[in-house]
Amino acid sequence: MKLTGPLERVLRVLTADPSAPHYGYDLMKAAKLPSGTLYPMLARLEQDGLVGSEWEAQREDAAGRPPRKYYRLTAEGLRVARLELAQAASRSPARQAGYGTARPTRGSTARPAPGSTR
Amino acid sequence: MSRAPRVQQLAEWLIRAACRRLPADIRAERCREWTAELPAILGDESIRPPVRRAMRALSFCAGISRTTRQLDRSARSGARRSRSSQWRTGAPAAQSPHVAVRALLGFLIWLVVVFGVIALVRVLPHASGWPLGVIVALGIGFDAFCLADIARAARVRHLPKWAWVLICLIQTPAGGIIYLSIGRIARPRPAPPGGQAP
């Protein structure tokens, strides 16, 4: 799995509370990603078995709202995500310290900080 | 106010249109998933003027369109690897020549057609109207052939289908020739039911 900036942001949101289910728009807002980036990523993660999805049960109080599909990390996904995030943090400690826009120097293995390419 | 439901209807229509690209077994579920997100976007109080919510919903649909295109592409590359693609059921497609060769061939055909028509008009007597009628009929027939081919093709090259339709309609012989030489993907004829004896 190649940890790109957007993927890292999604994993951060999902690992923040691994038991909490997220629906698509919720993830879009929390990770600040457009739908065209988020959904292909979720489909890939789901195919790899790292993310599971379930349909919301139809509730009476939901005033005609159609049931949503919720995403959540699987046990394997949580393990992989924590590992990847820890590796990303150790690769560029500067980013963890808040220098979010730090550019990677030439030849280093650091990746661009999330959001620096937009 | 009737704007919100109308935006939602438009967005649902866009999502359904985007979902048509998906394989049939996941189409309905994906469509349900994405249309279920729309009320959350259109009812999001943190996006202040309601107009911005509508814009957000439409950009959500644009992203869904990109998503289905990508899912379709990855499903297709998977199918190609497993050799179960629809086009593989017949004879294997002939290797099509390089795009420059095809463009050159198309240009030569266009030259022949244009100068042939000019020669025909000059040679034949002006008084009789029939050569013009025949040329117009041939043009319409050629356009119809190209449009039918675009409609039946599973995919076309380089441009979306609607762009090729426009090109074919705007310039009658040239547009169709450009489509056939550059945009069309050669597809094998379906295998005859009985199978040909070798």
Which pLDDT score, from 0 to 100, does residue A60 have?
Answer: 64
Cα separation of B147 and B140, whole Å?
Answer: 11
Three-state secondary structure call for residue A18: coil
Q: What tokens appear for A25 in the block?
A: 């728009």
Contact B64, B15 (CB under 8 A): yes
Q: Percentages helix, strand, coil for chain A, rounded to the nearest 5?
A: 45, 10, 45
Say whether A36 and B63 touch across the interface (CB within 8 A): yes
Nearest CA in chain B to A22: B37
pLDDT single digits (tens) B128-183? 667 778 888 888 999 999 998 888 877 788 888 888 899 888 888 888 888 888 88
Three-state secondary structure call for residue B91: coil
Cα separation of B18 and B32, whole Å?
Answer: 12
Cα separation of B185 and B109, whole Å?
Answer: 18
- Tracing tokens 């028509």 back to the chain, one arrives at B117
b/e for A76-85, b at 16 or more Cβ within 10 A?
A: ebbebbeebe
The arithmetic mean of pLDDT across residues A76-81, rounded, is 91
Chain B residues whose CB is inside 8 A of the A65 CB are 36, 39
The arithmetic mean of pLDDT across residues B74-97, rounded, is 56
pLDDT single digits (tens) B110-133? 999 888 888 877 877 665 667 778
Q: What is the pTM of this model?
A: 0.57
**pLDDT band at residue B189 using 50, 70 and 90 as cut-offs:** low
Which pLDDT score, from 0 to 100, does residue A117 have?
Answer: 47
Which pLDDT score, from 0 to 100, does residue B81 have?
Answer: 57
Does the CB of B39 have a partner CB in chain A at under 8 Å? yes
Does the CB of B8 have a partner CB in chain A at under 8 Å? no
CA distance to A24, B104, B171, per residue, from B118 (Å): 61, 21, 16
Q: Least CB-CB distance to A35: which of B32, B44, B64?
A: B64
Cα separation of A99 and A113, whole Å?
Answer: 9
Cα separation of B55 and B44, whole Å?
Answer: 12
Chain A residues whose CB is inside 8 A of the B59 CB are 34-35
Cα separation of B164 and B171, whole Å?
Answer: 11
pLDDT single digits (tens) A8-28? 889 999 998 888 889 999 899
Does the CB of B59 have a partner CB in chain A at under 8 Å? yes
Cα separation of B65 and B115, whole Å?
Answer: 44
Cα separation of A96 and A3, whole Å?
Answer: 16
E strand segments, A12-109: 22-23, 51-55, 69-73
- Could you give the ipTM of this predicted complex? 0.71
Q: Tell me: pLDDT of A116 over 80.
A: no
Nearest CA in chain A to B71: A40
- Please state the φ and ψ torsions of residue A70, each to the nearest 5 degrees: -110, 140
